[in-house]
Amino acid sequence: MRTAIQKCGIKFLAISAGTGLISLGSNMAAAADYSCEAQSTWISNPNAPSEVPLGKNADFCEFYQFSWQWFLQLMSPSQNDATLRQFQNTDKYPILEATGHNSCDDVITSKTLVTSLNKIDLPERTGQAGTGEKGIFDQQGNAVLYDVRFSRNLCDAGKIQQKANFTFPTTEIKTAWKQMTPSDDQSSYLIMEADIDGVPGTETLGMIGFHVAIATEDHPEMIWASFEHKDNNPTCNDTSAASQSWSFASEACISDPSNCTWNSVSKVESLTGGTPNQTCTVHPYGTEKDDPHYDKNITAITDLNTQINNFLLELNVDPNSSMAVLNNYFNIGALWLSDPTKPSVTSTGAPSLENQRGSLRMANTVMETSFQDGFSQTGTNHEYTSNCFGCHEFTVDANYRNTGPHNNFDVSHIFINDILKNMCTTTTSYNAGPIWSDKDAQAKCAQTCGNKGGWMGNWRTTQPGTMSECDCCNN
């Protein structure tokens, strides 16, 4: 029996003047009986938890409660600027700039999609993860744009490296945006303005996808959750969906799926005038009936999606409030490990699916379009999955696939490939005493470079058996 989240009746809400937030009223209505309960206070008073409810005793429900609470908190108005959302607060979540630029220096110097009205620049991120310059175009031929952010604590590289794992509040956020056109109902999208074409004036963009990964003490592998806009695309081979207007699927292709190429990506050479990509959801909520714990997973996702949507639709919510628009977004799944003392992969690099929990086939259709078919199986023998852990490997052996100064750097590509590398224009070598192996270097160099900008991953022996030195970052 769950005790962390108590059942509650539906409460009517009223808007707090000037904030866009929602305050609770006194009227009550009967709530449906859900096995996984949401709370209206997640909307009225967003406060993301530092740990999954019930901790190490958590089941599927608690992880999805955690995911929704974080999404709603990050989507609430920023305390610094009510025109922005919490995730757009650069004090907490700096913008990841292009390779070669320091994202921690609070100065935007590269081309990137900037989610602030007073900081505009040309976007550079049109390619999806793992595809290089390839992305997708909507049905108007406009390229999808991406914005990446991370929690400020990742800028303290020396402190990060002295830990065995990434710790709370390590957070990474990726959002996907489409250009708004007269055919779009802007009221159904979270909107921002940005100059994306270099011509004076800004363009209106609507959010279509949202990724968030959060590390906690009990789950240093991070909890990976993903959300999409309800009008992105239909489920594959659902010909009945042809009557609805979709952003990434045409009526003709839905009516005759065999006559179109689905879920492919295209090289983005221009922000407009591209050939529309046809996308569909291969595995709704990232799971299939023969997946482990399918029933628990799908029930938790759909229960919470339904309740939160009802809170936003049926409660007395001002349609102009900043939170009301979120009723157009839904959770497509989440991913975590059952036992974080064990890796997410085997010693050969194959996914360790017996230790993975949640939506094992999770792929955001507007961020990981072509990865949806990366999960092959023979009966119930799952051979490969291209979910989050397919790229963001979590290991517990310091000697396993060590590519840098921290055995679990692969969990955060942002940290090792962008933050750490781009903060350092030069390095300085410091004596660290004798170092006997790469594993020994991880501990000694992290300690040596802890207050010197962080270890860059290189070490060498200068006096055999007596002295070695580590390359530290001059940030």
The whole-angstrom separation of Cα 443 and Cα 463 is 19
For 134-163, what is each residue's pLDDT tens digit?
899 999 999 999 999 999 999 888 888 878
Tokens of residue 221, six digits: 């592998």
The whole-angstrom separation of Cα 294 and Cα 272 is 40
- Report how far apart, in Å, the C-alpha atoms of 239 and of each of 183, 243, 253 are: 22, 9, 9
Domain residue ranges of the chain, discontinuous segments joined by +: 86-298+318-391, 424-473
Distance of CA 316 to the CA centre of its chain: 30
Q: What was the pLDDT predicted at 60?
A: 96
Fold that domain 424-473 belongs to in CATH: Dna Ligase; domain 1 (3.30.1490)
Please give the average per-residue pLDDT across 244-265, as a whole number. Answer: 94
Cα angle: 371, vertex 357, 376; to 5 degrees: 35
Range with the poorest average pLDDT among 308-312, 313-317, 341-345:
313-317
- The one-letter code for the residue type at 165 is N
Q: What was the pLDDT predicted at 28?
A: 33
Q: Strands 203-214, 171-179: parallel, antiparallel or unpaired by DSSP?
A: antiparallel
First to last CA, the chain: 50
242: number of CA atoms within 13 Å, CB side?
10
For 387-442, what is each residue's pLDDT tens digit?
877 777 777 654 443 344 455 667 888 887 788 778 887 889 999 999 998 878 88
For 111-139, what is each residue's pLDDT tens digit?
555 433 333 344 567 778 777 678 999 99
- Report how far apart, in Å, the C-alpha atoms of 1 and of each of 7, 213, 395 are: 12, 28, 32
Please give the average per-residue pLDDT across 366-384, as a whole number. Answer: 60
Nearest-10 crossing angle of helices 294-314, 60-75: 30
For 55-73, what is each residue's pLDDT tens digit?
878 999 999 999 999 999 9
Report pTM. 0.84
Q: What was the pLDDT predicted at 326?
A: 95
The whole-angstrom separation of Cα 358 and Cα 335 is 5
User: In 3-state terms, what secondary structure has residue 153?
Assistant: helix
Tokens of residue 287, six digits: 């799971």
Q: What was the pLDDT predicted at 343?
A: 75
